[in-house]
C-alpha cells in the first residue's frame, strides 16, 4: 500500500485526474513521484497476491485489504493472500473509464437484452465491477527487404477475355508496433479479442503506484505463444498495403503471399504491458458469465444468458391480447386454428434445427493453442471449446421476438390463412416439420446435452397428429383442438430447449486454474 506523504492515509489512483489521491486528506501526487525506491531500481516489484481456494485464480493488488469474492468463478469467499515479487511490466495504459461510467455503459447494453436474468440488472450486482489490469504481450515486427509478386489483369475484347500476367517488384519497409495478445491464462482469449482494440499510443512507463485501488492479473503465458499469429497479422497488413498501392485491378496470384518470409519479417522485440479492464462475473449453479468493459475505450463485451422464466411469462402475457385480436379478425374454426398452429410449429422447428447446427459448430470448433517443451520446440495442441465468442444474446432475442409477434402478422393475412386451411397447407407443413425434426436426431447425439430430445419427440408427435387429423377429417372439433394444443406444447418445449442450449454457450464452465498454464482457459 502506498501512503500519503502528508497524513499517512491510503493513496488511490484517480481516473479523472490521472493522479494518486489520498482517501483521507485528498492530497494528490504524480504516480511517478511516490514510487518506492526498491521497486524503481528492480526488475520486479512487491505485490499482494490473492488466491481463490475454489478455482485457483490469482489477482494482484497494492492494497492489503482482503478480497471478498473471486472475479473469475464468482465464489463469495475470503481469498488467501501472500506477498510476492512480480515481474515488472514495461508499459501500462491507465484506466480512462471510471466505475460509474462503466456501470452506465453496461446498463445501456442490458436495456436491449429484455430476457436477461434480473440479477444482471441488480444495482448491488452491477456495483461489483472490479478494475483489473490484464497483462498483454506487445510485439514489434519489422518488414524490410525486396518483394516480388505475380498478378493478373483481365479485360474483355469482343467475345474473348484476355488475361495479362505481370511481375510486381519493389522494396518494402514497414514497422508494426503494439500488436498485442493477452498474457494471462485466466483471461479468456475470446474476451480479450472482443475487447480490442486498445490505443497503444496512450501507453506510459509502468510504475506500481498505478495499481493503487485496482487489481492486476498475473502473467503466465509464454511470449512465444502468439508469435505466429502476430507474424501473420503483420504479413496481412503489408499485403493489404501493397495491394492498395499496386496496379489497379490487379489480382495477386502468389500462394504464399501472406507468408511472413515473403516480407523478410523480423521480430524486433516483445514487451510486457498492462491494459485496463472492468470485470464482473455472474455465477449460476455450475455456470459462470462474464461482463467486461474496456477500461480505455468503454467497449462492452458481455456473456448474456436468457431467463427462461421471463420468456415464458412474456409469452403468456402476449397470448391473451393475441387471442382476442385473432378472434376479432379471423373466424377461428378448427381447421384455421390447426393451420396457424402448424405454421408456427414449423417456424419453431426450423429455428430449433438452425440453433442445433450453431451449437454443434460451437462445441466441435477447434483452434490452435501453442505449448512449448523444455527444449523450446513448438508443438500445436488442439482443444475442444464450448464457444468462440462471448455470448451476445441480442440477435437471438430478435429471433424470439419475431416468433412471438408472428401471430399478429398473420392476422393481416387472415383471409389467406382461412383459404389455405381448406387446401393442402396442413399436410405440407406437417411433412416438412417431420423431415426437419427427424434430421435433428443426429445433431443431438453429437452434443453434450441431450435434453432437447423430448422437444423433438413432442414436435414429431404434434406433426404426425396434425397430418393424421387432416387425412381422417373427423367430424368432432375436439380432434383438431387436440392437435393444435400438441403443436403449441411442442413449440414451447422446443423454444425452451433452444434457450437452454443458448445458455450453455452464452456462459462458461466454472474455471479451474490451479494446474493450467498458457493460452485460453477453456477445456
Tens digit of pLDDT for each residue in 396-451?
444 455 454 454 454 444 445 555 555 677 888 888 888 888 877 766 666 555 45
CA-based nearest residue to 320, from 412, 409, 408: 408
Q: Which one of 305-314, 330-339, 473-482 scores highest in mean pLDDT?
A: 473-482
Give the residue, 390 or 83, on which the prediction is more confident.
83
113 pLDDT band (50/70/90 cuts)? Answer: confident
H or E segment and range at residue 154: strand 130-157
CA distances from 27 to 2, 24, 62 (A): 13, 8, 19
pLDDT at 345: 84
H or E segment and range at residue 21: strand 19-22
pLDDT reading at 87 higher than 90: no
Q: Is 61 left (phi over 0), alpha (psi -120 to 50) or beta?
A: beta
pLDDT reading at 253 higher than 90: no
100-104, 237-241, 392-396, 508-512, range with the lowest pLDDT: 392-396
CA-based nearest residue to 364, from 505, 471, 226, 266: 505
Torsion of CA 2, 219, 82, 8, to 10 degrees: 0
pLDDT reading at 292 higher than 90: yes
Give the residue, 83 or 230, on which the prediction is more confident.
230
pLDDT at 254: 80
CA distances from 428 to 161, 463, 464, 471, 486 (A): 47, 10, 12, 12, 18
Task: Report the alpha-carbon distance of residue 389 to residue 140 in Å, rounded.
Answer: 27
In 330-405, alpha helices (H): 334-364, 394-404
User: How large is the C-alpha radius of gyration of the chain?
Assistant: 29
Assigned C-alpha cell, 138: 506487445
pLDDT reading at 480 higher than 80: yes
State the pTM of this model. 0.74
Residue 55 buriedness (CB in 10 A; 0-12 / 13-18 / 19+): buried
pLDDT at 411: 46
pLDDT at 329: 63
pLDDT at 21: 94
pLDDT reading at 64 higher than 70: no
298 pLDDT band (50/70/90 cuts)? Answer: very high
Torsion of CA 514, 516, 522, 523, to 10 degrees: -100
pLDDT reading at 379 higher than 80: no
Tens digit of pLDDT for each residue in 167-196?
888 888 999 988 999 888 888 888 888 898
H or E segment and range at residue 433: helix 425-438
* pLDDT, mean of residues 218-237: 89
Give all strands (DSSP E) within 243-331, no chain letters: 251-252, 265-284, 287-294, 300-302
Task: Report the alpha-carbon distance of residue 1 to residue 178 in Å, rounded.
Answer: 30
Task: Report the alpha-carbon distance of residue 366 to residue 381 in Å, rounded.
Answer: 10
CA distances from 477 to 337, 338, 427, 463, 474 (A): 11, 11, 18, 17, 8
Q: Is the CB of residue 496 less than 8 Å from the CB of residue 455? A: yes
Amino acid at each position: 500500500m502506498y501512503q500519503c506523504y502528508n497524513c499517512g492515509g491510503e493513496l488511490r489512483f484517480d481516473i479523472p485526474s490521472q493522479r494518486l489521491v489520498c482517501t483521507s486528506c485528498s492530497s494528490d501526487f504524480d504516480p511517478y513521484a511516490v514510487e518506492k525506491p526498491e521497486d524503481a531500481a528492480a526488475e520486479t516489484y512487491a505485490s499482494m497476491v490473492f488466491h481463490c481456494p475454489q478455482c485457483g485464480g490469482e489477482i494482484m493488488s497494492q492494497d492489503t485489504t482482503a478480497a471478498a469474492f473471486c472475479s473469475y468463478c464468482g465464489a463469495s469467499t475470503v481469498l488467501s493472500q501472500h506477498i510476492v515479487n512480480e515481474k515488472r511490466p514495461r508499459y501500462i495504459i491507465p484506466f480512462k473509464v471510471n466505475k460509474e461510467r462503466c456501470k452506465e455503459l453496461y446498463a445501456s447494453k442490458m436495456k436491449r437484452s429484455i430476457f436477461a436474468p434480473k440479477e444482471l440488472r441488480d444495482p448491488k450486482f452491477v456495483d461489483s465491477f472490479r478494475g483489473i489490469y490484464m497483462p498483454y504481450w506487445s510485439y514489434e515486427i519489422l518488414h524490410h527487404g525486396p518483394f516480388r509478386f505475380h498478378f493478373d489483369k483481365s479485360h474483355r475484347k469482343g467475345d474473348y477475355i484476355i488475361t495479362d500476367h505481370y511481375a510486381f517488384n519493389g522494396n518494402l519497409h514497414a514497422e508494426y508496433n503494439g500488436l498485442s495478445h493477452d498474457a494471462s491464462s485466466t483471461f479468456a482469449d475470446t474476451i480479450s479479442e472482443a475487447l480490442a482494440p486498445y490505443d497503444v499510443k496512450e501507453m506510459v512507463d509502468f510504475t506500481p503506484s498505478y495499481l493503487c485501488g485496482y487489481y492486476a492479473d498475473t502473467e503466465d503465458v509464454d511470449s512465444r505463444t502468439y508469435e505466429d499469429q502476430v507474424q501473420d497479422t503483420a504479413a496481412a497488413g503489408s499485403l493489404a498495403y501493397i495491394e492498395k498501392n499496386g496496379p489497379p485491378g490487379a489480382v495477386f496470384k502468389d500462394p504464399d503471399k501472406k507468408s511472413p518470409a515473403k516480407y523478410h519479417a523480423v521480430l524486433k522485440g516483445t514487451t510486457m504491458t498492462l491494459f485496463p479492464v472492468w470485470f464482473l462475473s455472474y455465477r449460476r449453479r455450475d455456470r459462470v458469465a462474464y461482463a467486461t468493459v474496456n477500461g480505455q475505450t468503454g467497449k462492452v463485451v458481455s456473456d448474456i444468458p436468457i431467463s427462461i422464466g421471463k420468456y415464458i411469462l412474456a409469452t403468456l402475457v402476449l397470448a391473451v391480447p393475441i387471442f382476442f385480436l385473432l378472434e376479432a379478425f379471423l373466424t377461428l374454426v378448427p381447421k384455421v386454428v390447426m393451420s396457424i398452429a402448424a405454421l408456427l410449429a414449423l417456424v419453431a422447428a426450423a429455428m430449433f434445427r438452425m440453433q442445433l447446427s450453431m451449437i454443434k459448430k460451437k462445441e466441435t470448433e477447434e483452434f490452435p493453442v501453442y505449448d512449448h517443451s523444455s527444449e523450446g520446440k513448438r508443438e500445436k495442441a488442439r482443444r475442444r471449446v464450448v464457444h468462440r465468442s462471448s455470448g451476445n444474446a441480442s440477435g437471438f432475442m430478435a429471433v424470439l421476438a419475431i416468433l412471438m409477434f408472428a401471430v399478429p402478422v398473420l392476422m393481416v393475412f387472415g383471409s389467406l390463412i382461412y383459404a389455405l386451411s381448406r387446401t393442402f397447407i396442413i399436410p405440407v407443413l406437417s411433412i416438412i416439420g417431420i423431415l426437419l425434426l427427424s434430421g435433428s436426431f443426429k445433431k443431438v447425439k453429437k452434443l453434450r446435452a441431450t435434453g432437447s430430445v423430448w422437444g423433438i419427440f413432442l414436435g414429431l408427435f404434434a406433426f404426425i397428429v396434425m397430418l393424421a387429423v387432416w387425412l381422417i377429417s373427423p367430424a368432432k372439433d375436439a380432434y383438431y383442438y387436440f392437435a393444435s394444443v400438441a403443436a403449441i406444447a411442442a413449440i414451447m418445449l422446443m423454444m425452451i430447449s433452444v434457450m437452454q442450449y443458448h445458455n450453455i454457450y452464452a456462459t462458461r464452465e466454472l474455471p479451474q486454474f490451479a494446474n493450467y498454464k498458457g493460452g485460453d482457459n477453456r477445456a
